[in-house]
Amino acid sequence: MSGTMELVSQVQAGLDESERGLSLELKIIKAVVGEISTNADQVFEAAKQKSAQYQDVERFIGNEKTAAKERADVNRAVKSIDEGKKKLKEMWMRPPDESFAKIDAAKVMLKTASMNLDQLVKSVEKKENDDKTLAIRLYFDTKKFGLMPFEQLFNFRWLLKGSLMPAIMKEMDEKIAREKVEREEREAAAKVLENQRDLRNEERREEKGEQIQDLAAEALGIAEAPEPERKGPEMLTASLRFKIKPDTYRDLRNWLSSRGVPYKTISLFKTDEDAAVFMKREVIAGEIYAAVIH
């Protein structure tokens, strides 16, 4: 370096200090062989004053947008100081310790101010999220939905500012209806498999009984086991519960009638009072019995 070097590095901090005549813009004032001077003193004083403004951030309550904007401005000032310091190091392999100490102190004060603003902004955001979560939970409670807990149904995307309650309630309703249908379909499929398994077990038991009867006849030297006295076909009284579509239900009734199988319709109710109201409305005489559906 030779001669007087004019401004070689200028980083705009983005904060208006014109009213106080101080600036957070780090500049190299003079750079000649063996000497580099900066405005570190001014930056230090500006940072000191700016930091003092944010000792008490309660004044931003109710105006969080301004707090968020000023937090961004302070962060930009910290970044500009770092960039200015880097330029200063590049210009002089043995940086002036005093200027660097003041630059670092200015950065610490500005970071403290940014942290104060950040705490306020985040505390307000947390309260907003907590209030919104409570409102969503209260709506969920009105649905009386016990197939899954609220935490499993909850979507953190609902806490975004652009996510409004009408849209959230609609999405929750759709999720609840979809889960009910899928749960019923899973239960129905499992019941079909269980019924098929029970039927196969019953057929195997009947087949095994016939085999035992044949072995017993063979052991006794009987060519053919005597047939039991026939008293007519055994009649069973059975009740089955189906979950089928209306047209399939009509086909089932027609099939039973075509096979000569008489059937009766059983109406199920949650309480005896509900059953009594139904009987009175339909003018049906009879008694009310409890039923176990399994």
- The tens place of each residue's pLDDT in the chain, 294 residues long, gives 333 333 333 333 444 443 456 777 878 777 665 677 888 899 999 999 988 888 888 888 888 888 999 899 999 999 999 998 888 877 765 555 677 788 888 889 999 999 999 999 889 899 999 999 999 999 988 888 888 888 888 988 999 888 899 999 999 888 888 888 888 788 778 877 877 787 777 777 777 776 666 666 666 665 554 555 555 566 666 677 777 777 777 777 777 666 667 766 676 777 777 777 777 777 676 666 666 555
Classify the C-alpha dihedral 129-130-134-140 as positive or negative: positive
The pTM (predicted TM-score) of the whole model is: 0.41
Torsion of the alpha carbons at 209, 215, 221 and 224, rounded to the nearest 10: 50
At 181-212, the pLDDT tens digits run: 888 788 778 877 877 787 777 777 777 776 66
Angle CA(4)–CA(5)–CA(11) in degrees, nearest 5?
150
Q: Residue 97 is encoded by which pair of tokens?
A: 């310790």
Geometric angle at alpha carbon 188, from 182 and 194, rounded to 5° = 140
Mean pLDDT of all residues belonging to the chain: 76
Sign, CA torsion 140/145/150/155: negative
| Number of Cβ within a 10 Å radius of residue 186 | 10
Judge whether 10 and 24 are in contact, CB under 8 Å: no
**Tens digit of pLDDT for each residue in 157-187?**
999 888 899 999 999 888 888 888 888 788 7
| Tokens, residue 253 | 């009734």
Q: Domain ranges in the chain?
A: 18-140, 143-222, 238-294
State how far the alpha carbon of 90 is from the alpha carbons of 4, 8, 31, 47, 238, in Å.
Answer: 17, 11, 12, 24, 95
Asked whether the beta carbons of 36 and 96 are under 8 A apart, the reply is yes
